[in-house]
Chain A
């Protein structure tokens, strides 16, 4: 049981960190609390399913390559959609917190209803990229989960390097520190916001494809809520806008979640309580999160 908890929660923790990274990125750069983050997760999974229906019968190796292409296509699609939506809907209300949240909740509900209209209430299957499993410490772990873990760690690391080293990453950090001064330095903030939004939603889409593929194997119109809950509880735990915080928070939430699933009676039913309870506790004890900046007097 202990081994199960450790292995499963390490794997899901890595993917959750990726999910939360997107959420914290867009908040850190433009101050948008993107409640539609879970919808991009859902959209990624659905797009992958839609592309998969076009796939012809192929030998296994070609099929894997095709699936990788599909993942990339789906993720790029989500990125484009999200940056366009950002420009059309979120940008006009930027700076007004009530407005931003209402707009993003609206977007989330619009995606939910669109998916219901297009695919109906039944879940659609999301296939894992590779099949098969391997025993680790006596626990059977599917290759899909290991792949999800590896991909998310890779993406996390590369994004961290991108943000801390590259020119665009530096521009993003500059904008998050002081928007007006960044504009004076010749940074096109609007484009940068769109880019940050696209990156953030692409991370969500990757997480969507890999999590739905490796755990439940299905995607439904309501799956956006739980990832959203996860990502904001992780982000609150780690501190809004902190990359390190989202990595550590992801693992903490992953452990807490798996422990509840395995230990509590009918744990699967109350698993959604976990992230929220952690979040409320964190805010009670340490309102700015583990690595967050002081928020009380920010304006």
Chain B
């Protein structure tokens, strides 16, 4: 009896995972992620992976809103900062533990999404992008404002937040944090992916494709846009909370344009509108940034007897921006999407219930 159940579970698992190359890759990717800390990785790389997990959640939430629903947000840092600041303020004024502050912060984040959703979703296209860009900049100035520094502590932000596993020794703490972020990353990825491929997700894509036509089909467009914004804001807030507790500080820089722009870089690296694209993109980004540019390149330069000037810090963002520029113009599919497409071509395309975003169609249409 039990044996047959196991056999059936196994065979359905092989049918759903092993036979489909992109899923197999995702599975292997997850396995690699699971064994990384056990493999005794250097703490520097481990913390790199922790932040990559957080960024992956953040970027996937951006992709749901922009790549799937077509609501251009250039201010996703809003949710990031709201997450960081609400958990920090709850800790500061009420002394609540982390596992209480984060759910409350998530609630705050989604209510903020509802609040800004009403003014934002009345407008569309360029207006929407400009309005969403406005909110984090307003908040950035407010939290830095000296007369309010007894609440937000000004430029330095709220410091000395509790770490997640403060009771463990430092090395185990890192590993525990890694697994925590990995679990949340996995949960967020599954939820966002499932939402994006559910019936609701199809409605999102229809809004992206043609809002007027969806309206004509009797879809309550505003409701679905708001839904997308809330889900997206929820995970954005989660990423902000995690980042704040990992760095043990919430400062005004969480509201900066950099944090609105990083998910864009990451999403375009992986492939916009795919959900799994930004997840992979976050790792690629961190590996490029913190491994190749921060460690390997100076080492290489040392080998050739060249010292990198201090200004190289500025060149990093320049390099990433150029990469995104080229990707947007020449290769809008991104790395992850490109890989899965290649794999599918090799193995006779299957019905992956990949209802797929239509965002590339615009590029194809234009190329004609």
Contact = CB atoms under 8 A, between A and B. Distances in A.
Given A105-B264, A116-B314, A110 B321 contact: yes
Contacts of B343: none
Interface in B312-354: 314-315, 317-318, 321-322, 324-325, 328-329, 332
A50 B131 CA distance: 35
Contacts of B146: 266, 269
Interface stretch (B41-49, B52-60, B118-126): B118-126
B256 to A, nearest CB: 10
B166 to A, nearest CB: 35
A96 B137 contact: no
A276 B123 contact: no
A280 B131 contact: yes
Greatest chain A CB density within 10 A among B74, B272, B314 is at B314
Given A110-B321, A117-B315, A236-B130, A270 B145 contact: yes
B310 to A, nearest CB: 9
B325 A98 contact: no
B324 A114 contact: no
Interface stretch (B89-97, B100-108, B237-245, B359-367): B359-367
A62 interface: no
A103 B328 contact: yes
A225 interface: yes
B124 A295 contact: yes
B134 interface: yes
Contacts of B366: 94-96
Given A114-B318, A276-B134, A284 B119 contact: yes
A104 B257 CA distance: 14
Interface string A250-273: 000000000000000110011111
Contacts, number: 130
B145 A269 contact: yes
B127 interface: yes
B198 interface: no
B272 A279 contact: no
Q: Is the interface of A mostly helix, strand, loop or mixed?
A: helix
B141 A270 contact: yes
Contacts of B224: none
A297 B138 CA distance: 29
Interface in A268-296: 269-273, 276-277, 279-280, 283-284, 287, 295-296
A92 B317 CA distance: 23
B72 interface: yes
A276 B145 contact: no
A33 interface: yes
B324 A102 contact: yes
A3 interface: no
Interface in A79-95: 89, 92-95
Contacts of B145: 266, 269-270
A295 B314 contact: no
A287 B123 contact: yes
B212 A272 contact: no
A113 B314 contact: yes
Contact of B126 (A96, A97, A114, A299): A97
Contacts of B363: 93, 96, 99
- Chain B interface: which size bin? 35 or more
A225 B260 CA distance: 14
B336 to A, nearest CB: 18
A27 interface: yes
Contact of A95 (B314, B324, B325, B362): B362
Nearest to A33: B126
A114 B66 CA distance: 28
B147 interface: yes
B127 A236 contact: yes
A204 interface: no
Contacts of A99: 328-329, 332, 362-363
Contacts of A236: 127, 130
Nearest to B139: A273
A102 B264 contact: yes
Contacts of B311: 116-117, 120
B144 interface: yes
Given A113-B315, A117-B311, A105 B261 contact: yes
B268 interface: yes
B138 A277 contact: yes
B142 interface: yes
A109 interface: yes
Contact of A240 (B126, B137, B147, B264): B126
A283 B142 contact: no
A225 B272 CA distance: 26
A100 to B, nearest CB: 9
A273 B272 CA distance: 31
A273 B138 contact: yes
A101 interface: yes
B124 to A, nearest CB: 7
Contacts of A114: 318
A229 interface: yes
A117 B314 contact: yes
A265 B138 CA distance: 17
A106 interface: yes
A-B residue pairs, 9 tightest by C-beta: A276-B134, A113-B318, A33-B126, A116-B314, A106-B325, A284-B119, A109-B321, A276-B138, A106-B321
22 contacts: A27-B126, A89-B329, A93-B363, A94-B366, A95-B362, A97-B72, A98-B66, A98-B272, A99-B329, A101-B72, A106-B321, A109-B261, A113-B314, A233-B134, A265-B147, A269-B141, A273-B141, A276-B134, A280-B135, A283-B131, A295-B123, A296-B124
